[in-house]
Each structure stands twice: as C-alpha cells, then as structure tokens.
Amino acid sequence: MKVEDVKVVGVLGAGTMGSGIAQVCAMAGFEVILRDLEERFLERGMENIKKSLSKFVEKGKISEDEMKATLERIKTTTKLEDFENVDVVIEAIIEDMEAKKAVFRELSNIVKREDAIFASNTSTLSITEMASVTRKPENFVGIHFMNPVPLMKGVEIVRGLLTSEETVQFAFDFVRKLGKEPVVCKDSPGFISNRILMPWINEGIWVLYEGIATKEEIDRGMRLFTNVPMGPLELADLIGLDIVLAAIETLHRELGDKYKPCPLLKQMVRAGLLGRKTGRGFYDYTKK
C-alpha cells in the first residue's frame, strides 16, 4: 500500500496517546475513526483534541477553519465493526499484551482491505508477538509516537520479525505525511527510546530512594548537567508513574536485573501517586 492510497485511519483508544494520534492524522487530511470502550472515554478524548487544536489556533499555527475541518474529519465509535473499511489501524490501548492481541485478533477478521496496515503504538511490548495473531503479520508494524503527540517530532518505526520492507517503507512515509520524523529500529524491548529513557528515570528514583539528593536537586542537576528540559522525576510525573513502572517491569522481565524497578516507584504506584494526572507524584500539582 502507498500513503496516497490511504483515506481512512482507525485509531484504537481515546486516551492521551490515542487522541493525540487521531488529531495529527486528521490534521494531515485523513478521515479518522476513533474507537474506545465507552462514550465517556471518547468524549474526554475529543475534549483533549479540541483543547490542543485551540492552542494551535491561539499561537497562529492553524486557522479557526482548519480547526473546524480537522474536528469534522474525526468520527467516534464504541464498535470495532466500524473499522470494517479502514486502510490503517493504529492501536493505542492499555499497555497489556493480551488485551492488544485480543483486539488485533478480532480486527483481523473485521477489516476488509487485504493490504491494510496494522500498527501498534506500544512503547515496550513485542511487535512480533502482536503480529502473530493477525492474518498478515507482514503488514504489521510498530509506530511509536512520543507524548505529547501533536508536539513531539520523533516517531519510532519498529520492524517485527515478519514485517515486510514494504510495510516499513509505508510506515516511514506515513509518519512523514503526519509531519513527524521517523527513526527505524528492530523489535527489541523498549526499542530505542524507552530502552535508554526508562533506566535513566529509574536511576533518578534510586538516587532519591538512597537519600543521595532531594528530588529538586536531582532534577535541577540533570537539567544543568545534560541540558535536558526536564529532570527524571519531573518527567516520570509527566508520563505517569504507572506507565513508567509497566515499561521498566517489561525491560526487567525481558533484559534482566540491571533494569530492576526501584522499590520507591512501586510504592508510589500502589499509593496512587501517579504524577500530574492524579495531582501528586514526586511533586504536588494540586497547589499550582
């Protein structure tokens, strides 16, 4: 399939990543079907898209008419059957292998187009394993966007064991069409981004846990020492500590003890201190 053949993109999951993916696809001119399990999730996702687009309008990056046209290109549904005529599927649901395999197994029998591309936005899980439950694993690829999707340029294109060269090239071209910059890698736990990023965050948490420095000094130090915009604890709060823990646990399970999650991270997730989305993580956001 060529990118110019794509008319309709189906996005699974209306959370932070799914709504962002739906937005950039619609901004690029594609018709989008955004699916989630319940209407309330879809409503929240569409609100996030409207807020994001409004900021683009305020900054003069798009016009009011472009915002309206983008929103009109996005349709929502709770039914997988509505993906029958999509050309591309991008999955952005919960980071759980069995849940992802279940939805891809079902979609493999719903999507009519024989050369439809199936993609997962997973940040750590095996593209090869997900592809195994579909009819055409050669048409399956990882397309891993970064958060926040509308703003971040880099996207990982992940080649599964059976992913064809044509599918990798399609993903590369598709990502470029969205105004992003693709980076291709093999299917390995954490790919490039999280293979490097998650141990950095985890080590920052270990430094705090061991009492080497305060959270403020850890983050301030790393901003000063490495010229990054956020320190590891600030970034963990932005990503969500539950998501960080899930990613690190996958790396630990697949790659060994050097990726062992810090006990403090586990304790905070158990306490529901997940970062910005819950109001408290390493920092308290309720006072801001």
Q: Which residues are catalytic?
A: 123, 144, 156, 194
> Is residue 198 annotated as involved in ligand binding?
no
Where a domain ends, among 159, 186, 213?
A: 186
Measured over the CA atoms of residue 86, residue 89, residue 92 and residue 93, the dihedral's sign is: positive
Q: Which CATH number fits the domain that encloses residue 52?
A: 3.40.50.720
277 is in an annotated binding site: yes
pLDDT, tens digit only, all 288 positions of the chain: 899 999 999 999 999 999 999 999 999 999 999 999 999 999 999 999 999 999 999 999 999 999 999 999 999 999 999 999 999 999 999 999 999 999 999 999 999 999 999 999 999 999 999 999 999 999 999 999 998 999 999 999 999 999 999 999 999 999 999 999 999 999 999 999 999 999 999 999 999 999 999 999 999 999 999 999 999 999 999 999 999 999 999 999 999 999 999 999 999 999 999 999 999 999 999 976
Q: What is the pLDDT of residue 37?
A: 96
Cβ distance 190 to 158 under 8 Å? no
- The pLDDT score that the predictor gives to residue 104 is 98
> What is the Cα 268 distance to its own chain's centre?
22
**Same domain, yes or no, for 150 and 260?**
no
Residue 121 known to bind ligand: no
Q: Is 123 annotated as a binding residue?
A: yes
Q: Residue 49: what pLDDT? A: 98
Domain of 231: which CATH number? Answer: 1.10.1040.10
Distance of CA 194 to the CA centre of its chain: 12
Radius of gyration of the chain (CA): 19
161: number of Cβ within 10 Å: 13
Annotated binding residue 240: no
Burial class, 251, CB count within 10 angstroms (exposed 0-12 / middle 13-18 / buried 19+): buried
pLDDT of residue 111: 98
Q: What is this structure's pTM?
A: 0.92
Residue where a domain stops, chosen among 151, 169, 186: 186
CA dihedral defined by 101, 79, 120, 57, rounded to 10 degrees?
-160
Are 138 and 58 part of one and the same domain?
Answer: yes
Amino acid at 250: T
